[in-house]
């Protein structure tokens, strides 16, 4: 069984896909962009963008 995973703690999916899908044995997550879901702003600089992207993945997982 496939269960979509969705959270407001990460940017919403843009397009016809889910933030992640739980198949029971695996979780397939979509790629994440460095948008802060609280403000809608994109982090400035590669370090901040990487940190925000990983925070978004963490929120989904």
Let me know the angle formed at the C-alpha of 11 by 9 and 17, rounded to the nearest 5 degrees.
Answer: 115
Q: What CATH class is the domain 3-60?
A: alpha beta
Q: Average pLDDT for consecutive 10-residue bins of the chain (61 residues)? A: 92 86 94 92 95 95 92
List the beta bridge partners of residue 8: none
The per-residue b/e assignment along 33-47, b for 16 or more CB within 10 angstroms, e otherwise, is ebbebeeeeebeeee
pLDDT of residue 30: 85
Residue ranges per structural domain of the chain? 3-60
User: Which pTM does this prediction carry?
Assistant: 0.85
pLDDT of residue 7: 92
């Amino acid at each position: 069984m496939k269960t979509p995973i969705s959270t407001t703690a990460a940017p919403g999916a843009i397009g016809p896909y889910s933030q992640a899908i739980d198949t029971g044995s695996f979780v397939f997550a979509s790629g994440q962009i460095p948008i802060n879901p609280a403000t809608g702003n994109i982090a400035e600089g590669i370090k901040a963008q990487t940190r925000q992207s990983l925070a978004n993945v963490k929120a989904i997982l």
